[in-house]
Structure 1
Amino acid sequence: MLPWDAPLAGRLDRHPFTSELLRGNPLGDPHERPLWVYVPPGYDDSAERYPVIYVIQGYTGQVTMWANRTAFRPSFLETADAVFAAGAPACVVVYVDAWTAYGGSQFVDSPGTGRYHSYLCDEIVPWVDAHYRTIPERESRAISGKSSGGFGAMITPMLRPDLFGALATHAGDALYELCYLPEFGKAARALRTYDHDVFRWWDDFRSRPAFTKPGDESLLVAFGVAACFSARADGTPELPFDPVSGVVEPQVWERWLAWDPVRMAPGHAATLRDLRAVWIDAGTRDEWFLDLGATAFRDEVLQSGLPPDRLHFELFDAGHAAVDYRYPLALKWLAERLAR
C-alpha cells in the first residue's frame, strides 16, 4: 500500500464555517471552524438528493485528523470513499469539528466549553441541507463516531430525534462506573505533584509538550470532561472526586451519570425504538471497558423495543486504539438502511 494521498472517486469540499453559537465561547476557542463535506461519485452529474451521515471524533480529535494515515493503512477519507466507489448506496458524509482548548466538547452544551450540541444540530445540519442536495429528513440522516464521538453519536439521536434517525457508535463512552471511575484514582495520584490543585497541573500541561508526564492523560480526561459535564455556572470545571483522597463527590458525580447513555436510554425508549438503524461495536480488550459499555447500551436499546433486525452489535478482538478499520463497515451498513 502506497503511503501517499490517493485520488478520491467522490469529492471532498473543505469549508470555513462561521458559528454564531460558538462566538464568544468560554474558552475563547475559534468560532470559525473547518467543515468537510464529502459528496459521492456521480453527485455532480445528477439532480439526485442523498441521505447524510455525520461523522464526529473522539476526545482530542479535530477534523483535519481524518486525513491522517498510519503505516499500511489508508485514511478514513479514503476508506469511506472506497465504500461508495464499490457500490454502496450513495450518501453525503459530513466531518464535523468540535475541538476545544481542553481537547473536546463531548458534543454537549456546557457553560465550561460552549454550545457544541446546538452548533452541530442547529447550525451545521441546516447549513449542509441548504448547500447540498440532501434529503432533509430524520429517516435519511445518521451520525457516527468513536470513543467520545461514539458517545456523541449515542446521545444526539436521543436528544434530537427530529434530526437523526440512525447511529453508529464505536467504543462510545458508556457505563461510567467502569470507564471513568478507575481514571479518578489515577488522576488523584498524579495531582500529588501539584499539591492536589488541578489548575496548577493545567498550567504546567500547557507550558510543555503535551503528555510528557505520568498522569497527563487521566488528568486531561477528568478535567476536560468535567468542563463538559460538571462545570459551575461561571464555567469552572468541578472535578467529580476529592483531589486529595480520590473519594467520589456524589453530587458532582451524579451530573456525570446523567450523561451516561446507558442511564439515558430508558428515558428515551420511544425514540430509540423508532430508530431505523443502530450499529454498536467495541474491542474486547478496550482499556476503558467500553466493550462492556457497548453491551449494556445494546441491552437498553433492545429493551426499548427496537426490532433486532435494525441493530448490529459486535465485539471484536482489539483494544481502544487503532480501530479505524471498523468505521467504513458501519458507514456502509448505515448507507444501506437510510431512507431514500
Structure 2
Amino acid sequence: MLPWSAELAGRLEEHVVSSELLRGNPLKDPHERPILVYTPPGYDDEPERRYPSVYVITGFTGHAGIWRNRMPYRQPFPETADAVFARGEAPPAIVVFVDAWTAHGGSQFLDSPGTGRYHSYICDEIVPWVDARYRTLDAPAHRAISGKSSGGYGAMVTPMLRPDLFGALATHAGDALFEYCYLTEFPKCVRHLRKYGGDIMRWWDAFNGRVAFTEPEDMELLNILGMAVCYSAREDGTPELPFDPVTGVIRQDVWERWLAWDPVRMVPAHADAMRSQRAIWIDGGTRDEWYLDVGAEAFRAALRDAGVADDVVRFELFDAGHGGIDYRYPMALAWLAQRIAP
C-alpha cells in the first residue's frame, strides 16, 4: 500500500460553492464551501451519457478536507470509490463530497437557529449546483446519500424530509435511538462541567483559548454542545442542554425536542418517504462505543413496521467499534450504484 496518493482512473474535481442560505449564519461560519465531485472512468468519452449520483456527508467534526487524509495502510475513500468503478464492480456514478462543517463541530445536516440552514443548503443549493454542472440523472430514483456516524444520521433523515430528491441511502453507524447513543453521555458531561461552574459556554470559551483536545472533557462536551445547537437551540440561537448541568436531572421538554429528531422515532411520520426508497443500506459495528449497532437494529425494525419491503434494505452488523470502518464505504457505494443505475 503506497503511503501517498494513487492515480485515479476517474477524476476528482474541487470547487467552491457560494451559499446564500449559509450567508450570515448564526456561528459566522464561512458561506463559501469546498465541494469535491468525482466523475467515473469514461465520463468524458460519452458526452451524451447521464449518471446517477451519490452524495457523501461526513461525521461529527468532519469537513471536505478529511477525504484527502491517508491512514497508514489504507486508502482514502475517493481512491477506494474510484477502484469500485475502475474494476467494474458497479455501474458508474458521480460521487459528491459535501462540506457542512460548523464551528461547533457539525450541523447534523439540519436547519437550526443555532447553526444555520444546512439541510436547505444541501437540498436547495448543492443538489441543483451539481445537476447544473455535471451530467446527472436528475431524479430521486437515481440520487443517493451516504454517511457515517453524524453523516449516517444525515443520510437517514434527509431522504425522510426530501424524498423528492433522494431515493436511496446508506448509513454506517448513524446516530439513532438517542436514549442509548446520547443519554449515557449526560452524566459524564455533568461531572466535566463541575470544573466550569455548570456553564458549558465557559468550557467553550476555554476550549477556544487553548490547543483543542488537550483536556479530557473536550470531546464529550463538544459533542453535547454540538448536538444541542442542532436539536434544541432557542430561537435566538443559544443552545439549551437536555439536562440540568449541575444536578443532571433531565429537562424533559428539551429532551423531547431531541427525541423528535431521532430517526427511529421519525420513521412512522415519514413512512411514505421511506417506502419510496429504492435502496437502504444499514450497518454498524457490534462493539460500537455509542451503541449505534443497537440504533441500527431499531431503525431497521422501524422501517419494517412502516412497511418498507425487505428486498429494499441491506442490513448488516459486523465485528468492529465505531472507528476504523471506512472499508465499509466502498461496499455500500457499489451496492447503491447498482440499485440507482438506470
Deviations 1:110-160 (A, max 9, x none): 000000000000000001001000000000000000000000000000000
Decide whether the 8 Å contact of 1:184 with 1:218 is kept in 2. no
Secondary structure (helix, strand or coil) at the match of 1:16 reads strand
Decide whether the 8 Å contact of 2:232 with 2:239 is kept in 1. yes
Decide whether the 8 Å contact of 2:91 with 2:341 is kept in 1. no
Q: Kindly report the root-mean-square deviation, in angstroms, between the aligned alpha carbons of the 2 structures.
A: 0.6
1:4 is matched with 4
Query: What is the rounded CA distance, in whole Å, between the counterparts of 2:219 and 2:187 in structure 1?
Result: 13
Query: What is the rounded CA distance, in whole Å, between the counterparts of 2:297 and 2:214 in structure 1?
Result: 34
2:215 is matched with 213
Secondary structure (helix, strand or coil) at the match of 1:43 reads coil
Query: What is the rounded CA distance, in whole Å, between the counterparts of 1:18 and 1:24 in structure 2?
Result: 12
Deviations 1:58-95 (A, max 9, x none): 00000110111111001111001101101110000000
Decide whether the 8 Å contact of 1:52 with 1:141 is kept in 2. yes
Within a 5 Å distance, the mapping from 1:1-340 to structure 2 comes to: 1-46=1-46, 47-87=48-88, 88-340=90-342
Counterpart AA for 1:221: N
**Deviation at residue 269 of structure 1 after TM alignment:** 1.0
Counterpart AA for 2:227: V
Query: What is the rounded CA distance, in whole Å, between the counterparts of 1:139 and 1:320 in structure 2?
Result: 30
Query: What is the rounded CA distance, in whole Å, between the counterparts of 2:199 and 2:298 in structure 1?
Result: 35
TM-score by length of 2: 0.99
Say how many residue pairs are matched. Answer: 340
**Deviation at residue 305 of structure 1 after TM alignment:** 1.5
Query: What is the rounded CA distance, in whole Å, between the counterparts of 1:67 and 1:303 in structure 2?
Result: 40
Decide whether the 8 Å contact of 2:112 with 2:231 is kept in 1. yes
Decide whether the 8 Å contact of 2:51 with 2:92 is kept in 1. yes
Decide whether the 8 Å contact of 1:21 with 1:119 is kept in 2. yes
Secondary structure (helix, strand or coil) at the match of 1:60 reads coil
**Deviation at residue 309 of structure 1 after TM alignment:** 1.2
Secondary structure (helix, strand or coil) at the match of 2:340 reads coil
* Unmatched 5+ stretches in structure 2: none
Query: What is the rounded CA distance, in whole Å, between the counterparts of 2:215 and 2:49 in structure 1?
Result: 53
Identity of aligned residues (%): 68
Decide whether the 8 Å contact of 1:19 with 1:32 is kept in 2. yes
TM-score by length of 1: 0.99
* Unmatched 5+ stretches in structure 1: none
Counterpart AA for 1:24: G
Secondary structure (helix, strand or coil) at the match of 1:312 reads strand
Query: What is the rounded CA distance, in whole Å, between the counterparts of 2:276 and 2:308 in structure 1?
Result: 7
